[in-house]
Amino acid sequence: MALPFLFEFWALPHQLPPETCEDGRDWRTWLCLGGRGAGKTRAGAEWVRSEVEGDMPLDAGRSGRVALVGETFDQVRDVMIFGDSGIMACSPADRRPEWHAGKRQLIWPNGAMAQAFSAHEPENLRGPQFDAAWVDELAKWKKSQESWDMLQFALRLGDMPRQCVTTTPRNVPVLKSLMENPSTVMTHAPTEANRAYLADSFIEEVRARYAGTRLGRQELDGVLLQDAEGALWTQEMIEGARCESAPEFDRVVVAVDPPVTGHAGSDDCGIIVAGVVTQGAPQDWRAWVLKDASVSASSPMEWAQAAISARDELGAERLVAEVNQGGDMVETIIRQIDPLVPYTGVRASRGKVARAEPVAALYEQGRVRHVRGLGRLEDQMCLMSARGYAGPGSPDRVDALVWALQALMIDPAVSYRRPQVRSL
């Protein structure tokens, strides 16, 4: 009878907090990140149980006053308290608390108390004081920073007040700041880590619909996706460019941004395949980004083979490769794989940001679409701003994307508007 309520026996690794911080100190905040359905609510409810359950009087190892904070009061009540994985469902009959709706409180048989709060009303956290808190879906709160700050001032009881934060990650300042705090410990899991407790049809449907998209990486894989300040591309812009299918194209190219060096520690080789439909005037042209075939190549022959393979797979008419670093050697390497491949070398005369801005403008105009499977390219895109690239290493995939759309959309449009007559 007790076994179903012994969470340590059933819990997945990400549903239990680490014992200490990385430096060996006691932690103050446990941040449980995960995709939709990864078991975050159950982890939070069971953590509250571990904090409050026990015999009277409450000893130093247990909490007596807990704050339950969600985006709205209804979500606290319906998800954190009475939900399928909430506190009530997780508690055995002899330790189940009573809900006092008028006071918005849970009272346990041993006298411990939990009080429900809405993040829409941060001022309600002024006055009460607690020695523990469970915070749910912090990253989606509209008043996240204000409510979070008020909660921190309220956690002032006991020897070591602690809090558990269960949330799907989103690119918000309060979450990024919390992750960087040395007193925070983290666990993480994608949706599929908990698939034994989820409907197979749900997994199949959401993977079919969102796999390979930036939204899928956030909501299913539980990955924090960041946009640089002043980013040339935003997540909203990229999600708006998503498409399920592509038409027949007038032209398809493979663009290559070769790494400077050719060893195991080199940057990736950016390889992007894109196609264009050139019906009407240039302002009516539309492009589709079809594949990110970028590779972490330890030798030039490896990335050259990957580029040729991408061309053959999608029927591209031409390879376009940046030659600022490799010069004629880039073409030589490619022709060792396929001596007859149509090839154009391009040389950058402007910085990465200056080259990327006209391409970002095409996205703002709604003239570029993305198929699925471009997650790593899209991550790099959201880290490109007017100040430069905010990510680690080189934006190799973005560079290749820029060369592809330059060759398909921008350069031909210039020639279209400025035709030249050749004299005899």
Among 67-76, 88-97, 164-173, 214-223, whose mean pLDDT is lowest?
A: 214-223
Domain residue ranges in the chain: 3-208, 235-416
Arithmetic mean of pLDDT, 128-147: 93
How far is residue 56 from each of residues 5, 49, 51, 63, 112, measured CA to CA in Å?
A: 20, 15, 13, 12, 9
* pLDDT value for 203: 85
How far is residue 281 from each of residues 248, 275, 359, 363, 416, measured CA to CA in Å?
A: 18, 17, 18, 17, 8
Residue 233 backbone dihedrals phi, psi, to 5 degrees? -125, 140
Q: What is the pLDDT of residues 110-124, one digit of tens each?
A: 899 999 999 999 999
CATH architecture under which domain 235-416 falls: 2-Layer Sandwich (3.30)
Query: What is the assigned CATH class of domain 3-208?
Result: alpha beta
* pLDDT value for 62: 57
Q: Is the pLDDT of residue 106 over 90?
A: yes
* pLDDT value for 56: 46
* pLDDT value for 44: 95
* pLDDT value for 61: 52
Token pair listed for 264: 């195991």
**Residue 219 pLDDT level (bands cut at 50, 70, 90):** confident
275 close to 408: Cβ distance less than 8 angstroms: yes
Q: What is the pLDDT of residues 23-72, one digit of tens each?
A: 888 999 999 999 988 999 999 999 999 999 865 445 545 568 999 999 99
* pLDDT value for 235: 82
**Residue 98 pLDDT level (bands cut at 50, 70, 90):** very high
Arithmetic mean of pLDDT, 151-166: 93
Q: Is the pLDDT of residue 253 over 50?
A: yes
* pLDDT value for 2: 83
Return the bridge partners of 189, or none: 34
Distance of alpha carbon 271 from alpha carbon 368, whole angstroms: 17
* pLDDT value for 5: 85
* pLDDT value for 57: 43
Chain-centroid distance, C-alpha 245 = 23
Q: Do domains 3-208 and 235-416 have the same CATH topology?
A: no
Q: Is the pLDDT of residue 392 over 60?
A: yes
76 close to 117: Cβ distance less than 8 angstroms: yes
| pLDDT, mean over the chain | 88
